[in-house]
Structure 1
């Protein structure tokens, strides 16, 4: 359920198929089954999934199974949300006359913008942006579900604005874009990105989700009156009107033809930018050169050293996955090559090799999926970042996959990408529990202050 809830929040059309009770047990009031809560009512699981799926079907009769299953799949694709399909355990493998029927006709409904609302939204937004001195462009995660990334890139080229991303949009925007300035995340942004965004007099924000993590404890200094918020089906301009029934893709394409080219925000960014700082502090501190030979001390691994080497593994043929923890913050600093995104699943790009960075805590929730990877013959590389955060799991097991210094890390990476490139690889990276980024410290400070506010009582 945790995975399906995550898919629901991220607008992913996952089809969840589960085995249900024998079809003869439905309506048998006195039958209590194993793996149940001890009641003859079998709807508890379905009720749980009602909150995190857009449609639920229970198939306990083959007469209408085709319509039920096809309808659920269509709903998943139409709404870009998960669906739940329960199939009685005694039905698979049976034949039925309905299986000889032609598949149900299917086509995704095309969402069309209201032409009047679209024209008004584009005209108002263009006027708003064209009178601004130093506007910027900020990409959010809903670009993906709206299928508007290509339209966003066309707008970014036409506008001349500096382009930043929210942390949850990492991988959706080309990072080799000439005006890409990094991740906007309040006080823990890429260097000089925060100043460029918050000092802008207009922000065009496309597909955002502003929760307390993205807002860093609601500490962002964005001003509502300066913002144009573009969501998949609506546009809000400043504190003024909201234009509904306007599709994101249509709006971005039309706006690209109406705005003036303005590079002022990026010129200001380049004045602040220092190449030595660069917002890219992924360095191998424990490495030094002696002639043509690279020497590496056998000292404790540092997190920035790990990710410095990891960045070298990335290519257009890899997909990066990071959990919400130290890995999330460190991966924001990685410069992703074109075609290498922060993916949601192996299925997102089946031909890419997945590189996953998982904390020792998060791994406890998904460890069982490693067996599925083996069964499916996946060749993913899993880096378990173990900083001893869970005392009883400080070291899972002493073995050849443990790396505790840079030399061992380099050897393990070489083996994973050469000799074992067709295999599933598991590398446990041992780092000190206090080795973390300043961004994570700042983030935790601000979010803890927000979440620990004293209750306000109304007398």
Structure 2
């Protein structure tokens, strides 16, 4: 590969250096004639590796997974319009999930706009701004590089925004010409709270919680966006309150904490957990997002006037809002000021019941989802990450106990089926330890299956459990119809097709408990990607999916109001 000339910088080489500066080591790309020169420039940076994906949507999903694994930014590079509009769904998901995805697109030559040219890949109009306008709804900042001398400030500003807000940004490069050398600088600046607002919030919260008999802490998904996991753990250790996680926050806090009570998810909560949370006389929610999915159709029953809502940059207690108070600062300030109180935890231990893990049956016994996830539970260790696709895997995954150090990934807010295949590619490349275990339904897999070939190409080694039950199980439980049945594939044999004699990936199909045990043993020995296709009965699903689906369906099917 040609080396970069460090005496002459272009917009492309400047951008490559800045991607490196923010901690990115891989970026996901698709070529097109609007970004080819840009890709050439990015390839000159030896410390960045381009991962060529099969399509732009999957590249965006891969960047989503990479950001989760590294807990930092990720980048995807596409061509204008046909590429950028294909990727926008994945960027929207990253926006919903608070992930700093840097969406980079080539742009039309600046002469084309000046000369009012009609261009291919566009809408057939002399209008080149529509992609930026569309991305403005799903990113925290959008910039178009038309003038190379203005590129450094625009690129730096966009990356600053991504890092500070933990949201995607959009950079369109229309002019890849000489520009300034990148001046050394940092992008890991930490936002700070207003000291007066912080002090007032702390006093109000301390007075409120210290007056309670059974206070509870609940983690929401935006704890990650606020980089406040450690601060919340420290507070839980200090105050001894019972601790729960909302479903989209599973894995953000160690489930081995003595105070951990499980998942707070309304009617499908960990047994005993919702009863304690709903009857608590004081609640501190850290980063909650109350959607129809996270609340099981808005079925949470906690008392609103007993709840403190701590978001990444604000706090709400009763009718009082404290702005410019950052979650991490607040939680750290509360450590040592809250009186130790394990009243809720003691109550939980009185009403909770031990988890029942099914015992293995005879080797020739047909598989059930419970038996599959009982084995996945044994497969997890402190270095594992379990990634679950939208569907029955959500509910089975929620019931597993994560060993200390193990991670859990879910896309609950956006819930885009097919996300998990691309995300598995990105996550496996970004993770620094252990092995990724992905649980993917057959319906979701069919949307994005091509990226298995990219995993083989770049030698990543997740263990993928492909759950073949003949359709979209989660949709069946919300609202069934013939559209929820799919054409069956021979999923295990796709590994041969995608490998085409290269790599060391392996696939198999299992129908019995004995075959599954043998497949897991074999997968643990192998260093490449392993896909285990698990045949499950169409009507075999977690009972909580039935309960949850019924409540969500009821919420969605309410009579419409006139506006």
CA-to-aligned-CA distance 1:39-82 (integer Å, 9 cap, x gap): 23232222221111112233355444433333322221122111
3-state SS in 2 of match to 1:137: strand
The range that moved more, 405-414 or 20-29, is: 20-29
C-alpha distance after superposition, 1:368-401 (max 9, x if no partner): 3323322332111222212111534334457462
- 1:429/1:50 CA distance change after superposition, 3 Å: same
Per-residue displacement from partner, 1:206-225 (whole Å, max 9, x unpaired)? Answer: 11000111111111101111
Distance in 2 (CA, whole Å) between partners of 1:25 and 1:372 is 35
- The residue number in structure 1 matching 2:477 is none
Query: Which consecutive residues of structure 1, in runs of 5 or more, have no partner in the other structure?
Result: 288-295
Root-mean-square deviation (CA, aligned residues, Å) is 2.1
| Correspondence 1:53-92 to 2 at 5 A | 53-88=139-174, 91=176
Displacement after TM superposition at 1:104 (Å): 5.7
Per the alignment, residue 381 of structure 2 pairs with 315
Is 1:262 aligned with 2:341?
yes
Matched residue, 1:198: 278
Structure 1 residue 227, shift from structure 2 partner: 0.7
TM-score, structure 1 normalization: 0.89
- Greater shift, 79-88 or 171-180, is seen at 79-88
Please, which of 198, 201, 218 is the counterpart of residue 138 of structure 1? 218
Corresponding position: 1:411 with 2:518: yes
After alignment, is 227-236 or 446-455 more displaced?
227-236
Counterpart for residue 45 of structure 1: 131
Q: 1:102 to 1:38 in 2, by over 3 A?
A: closer
Any conservation in 1 of the 2:222–2:288 contact (CA below 8 Å)? yes
Q: Is the Cα–Cα contact under 8 Å of residues 387 and 439 in structure 2 kept in the other structure?
A: yes
Aligned pair partner of 2:487 in 390, 393, 400:
393
In the alignment, structure 1 residue 368 sits paired with structure 2 residue 368: no
Residue matched to 2:328:
249
Q: Which residue of 2 aligns with 1:14?
A: 101
- Structure with higher helix content: 2
Please state whether the residue corresponding to 1:203 is helix, strand or coil. strand
Partner of 1:426: 531
Residue deviations 1:87-137, cap 9 Å, x none?
34x94xx7x3x35x2436344444222222222211111111111111111
Aligned residue in 2 for 1:283: 358
Are 1:2 and 2:74 counterparts?
no
Aligned residue for 1:236, secondary structure, equals strand
CA contact (8 A) 2:164 2:190 kept: no
Between the two proteins, the alignment pairs up a number of residues equal to 435
Deviates more, 1:221-230 or 1:52-61: 52-61
| SS of alignment partner, residue 361 of structure 1 | helix
Q: Provide Cα deviations, 1:7-56, integer angstroms capped at 9, x if missing partner.
A: 111111111122333454333323331x3222232322222211111122
In structure 2, what is the equivalent of residue 378 of structure 1? 460
Render the CA deviation track for 1:142-161: whole Å, top value 9, x for unaligned.
Answer: 11111111111111011111
Task: Confirm or deny: 8 A CA contact 1:160 1:263 kept in the other structure.
Answer: yes
Q: CA deviation at 1:414?
A: 1.5
CA distance in 2, matches of 1:119, 1:314: 42
Flag the 1:428–1:268 CA change in 2: closer, same or farther, 3 A: same
The residue aligned with 1:187 is 267
The question of whether the paired residues in 2 share the 8 Å contact of 1:74 and 1:106 is answered with no
**Residues 166 and 430 (structure 1 numbering): CA distance in 2 closer, same or farther, change over 3 Å?**
same
Equivalent residue, structure 2, for 1:338: 404
- TM-score, normalised to structure 2, is 0.73
User: Would you say the 8 A contact 2:393–2:440 is kept in 1?
Assistant: yes
Secondary structure class of the residue paired with 1:321: strand
Q: 2:308 aligns with which of 220, 225, 228?
A: 228
Q: Please tell me whether residue 329 in structure 1 is matched to residue 395 in structure 2.
A: yes
Is the alpha carbon distance of 1:219 and 1:127 closer, same or farther for their aligned partners in structure 2, counting shifts above 3 Å?
A: same
Name 1:272's counterpart in structure 2: 351
1-side partners of 2:365 and 2:205: how far apart? 55
| 1: CA distance, partners of 2:458 / 2:150 | 32
Quote the Cα distance in structure 2 between the aligned partners of 1:22 and 1:425: 44
